Amino acid sequence: VNKEKGFQVGIHVDAASGGFIAPFQKDLPEWDFRLSNVLSISSSGHKFGEACCGTGWLVWRQRENLAEHVAISVSYLGGHADSYTLNFSRPATGVYSQMYKFQRLGIEGYTSIMDNMMTVAKYIRDGLKEMKGQDEKTPLFTILDDGDAQCLPVVTAMLNPS
């Protein structure tokens, strides 16, 4: 649409849950800064990133077009430095623990963790699919999530209404 109409509409990717899953899954469509219109991505490190509660991230492609109340220049120790902050931000404990995990686990470690989570979700999903109702033919549960590939390691099901 941007090319057709001459717009310059940027995209913010709210990857609060999937931001620590998608980078470690194979064959996903591009969703991140590889797309030229993606300007920022947020993710919650405490959900699947193995960081402590309250840890979240907001990453911008570049400083250009950031609102001045988000990216400000501060005078510090006789010089000037950029400060990126949000009101009501939290202590740095989550940042430290997340950085430690990044360095300790690396891409291979996180890939292994995400593969394990997806395997456990598949195991639970398959177990629910095998459960039958009183007639021993009708599935007891209807699976509502997207299945075993390209999704979060989450299983969503409901009792079969029939």
pLDDT at 128: 97
Average pLDDT, the chain: 85
pLDDT at 80: 76
Residue 77: pLDDT over 90: no
Q: What is the CA radius of gyration of the chain?
A: 21
Q: Which one-letter amino acid corresponds to residue 147? A: G
Residue with tokens 């109340």: 69
pLDDT at 14: 92
Nearest Cα neighbor of 102 from 55, 52, 49, 31 is: 49
Q: In whole angstroms, what is the distance from residue 140 CA to residue 132 CA?
A: 5
Predicted confidence band at 121 (pLDDT cuts at 50, 70, 90)? very high
| 73 or 41: which leads in pLDDT | 41
